[in-house]
Amino acid sequence: MYPKTDIRSKENVQGLAMDFLSVAQQAAIASYPWVGKGNKLEADGAGTEAMRNHMNTIEMSGTIVIGEGEMDEAPMLYIGEELGTGNGPKVDIAVDPVEGTNLMAKGQDNSLAVIAVASRGSLLHAPDMYMKKIAVGPKAKGAIDLNLSLTENMLSVAKALGKEVSELTVMIQDRERHEELINQVFELGARVKLFSDVDITGAIATAIEEMDVDILVGTGGAPEGVLAATALRCLGGDFQGQLVPQTDEEFARCIKMGISDPNKVLTIEEIVKSDDCFFVATGITDGTLLKGVSKKENGVMLTHSFIAVGGKKQSYQFIESRD
């Protein structure tokens, strides 16, 4: 039995959580017909349109801070787009209508519709570039430091968890750039759990005991880092990120977006500045965290979602719905 969330008042940000759960569900359902069809652009477009249409019905004044790109790159859910009725709480919104578009297009596991929401001005305005990341669950909060090596972090996390370092499971994306990290895990006799895409799932897994993941580490997308950090703030976990601008243009982009020191290691409190936040995800294809959308003979669509809410009563739920 998972903890239940008491979400009633729509006067605060968390009060919008169930509305946004419906948004994620509808985006996943809209994308579902494109699973395994090899056309990631159509899949993403269907999810994006459904997500935007449903968000515009919510009683809020919402601004996209992480979305499908700049205004001249994306017709919908672009950075800076204002959504909602204009009434209700003022919020920052980070979205990925189809996280894992390649996975979905190939009919592979772990694609999701993902949304993070926080009070206005709370979410890091992250450029679409690489970010170094490390994530742990609540028991290891305060035990990570991205300025240190993975070896040092593993020793610190093992101590916090009351485990032998050889008992740790470290989740790392299966990329050539992570070879050194993988070798550090092996040298300490710990376990590596490799994955192909969608590091948000791995970050969340560190905070859910049943999933048996102690650390997520590696370099991936910065927008996904903000989404993962929001989820972990709701779950009481910990996260640190460091932007990795690879060109002068990317460095300048960080400055333009208000990040005065692009090389700084950012704590979870700097990435998500308020506890007044929540995170929702709905599975599109089956995965480690969620089951995918399925269609029954009578036309009913089944969805499986995850919702985590911040604040004093940090909690999460897995929700199965019929549409």
Q: What is the pLDDT of residue 223?
A: 93
**Per-residue pLDDT averaged across 110-124, rounded?**
96
Contact 303, 320 (CB under 8 A): yes
pLDDT of residue 128: 87
Whether residue 115 contacts residue 108, with contact meaning beta carbons closer than 8 Å, is answered with no
**pLDDT, tens only, 198-226:** 999 999 999 999 999 999 999 999 999 99
Binned at pLDDT 50, 70 and 90, residue 168 comes out as: very high
Q: Which residues contact 167 (CB under 8 A, 6 or more apart)?
A: 158, 190
Is the separation of the CB atoms in 30 and 47 below 8 Å? yes
Whether the pLDDT of residue 302 is over 90: the answer is yes
Asked if pLDDT for residue 126 goes beyond 90, the answer is no
Which pLDDT score, from 0 to 100, does residue 71 have? 67
pLDDT of residue 133: 98
**Separation of alpha carbons 112 and 100, rounded Å:** 7
Confidence (pLDDT) at 10: 53
Tens digits of residue pLDDT in 142-161 = 999 999 999 999 999 999 99
pTM of the predicted model over 0.75: yes
Q: What is the pLDDT of residues 60-106, one digit of tens each?
A: 999 999 998 876 677 899 989 999 999 999 999 999 999 999 999 99
* 3-class state of residue 93 by DSSP: strand
Q: What is the pLDDT of residues 235-292, one digit of tens each?
A: 999 999 999 999 999 999 889 888 889 999 999 999 999 999 999 999 999 999 999 9
Mean pLDDT in residue range 168-193: 97
CA quadruple 118, 119, 121, 126: dihedral, nearest 10: 10
Please tell me the predicted confidence (pLDDT) of residue 72: 63
Q: What are the tens digits of pLDDT across the range 2-52? A: 344 444 455 678 889 999 999 999 999 999 999 999 999 999 999 999 999
Residue 11 confidence (pLDDT): 63
CA nearest 124: which of 283, 274, 11? 274
Side chain identity at 281, as an amino acid letter?
A
Tell me if residue 22 falls in helix, strand or coil. helix
| Per-residue pLDDT, 313 | 73
Average pLDDT on 110-126 reads: 95
Give the sign of the dihedral formed by CA 254, CA 258, CA 264, CA 267: negative
- The 10 Å CB-count burial string (b at 16+, else e) for 277-300 is bbbbbbbbbbbbbbbbbeeeeeee
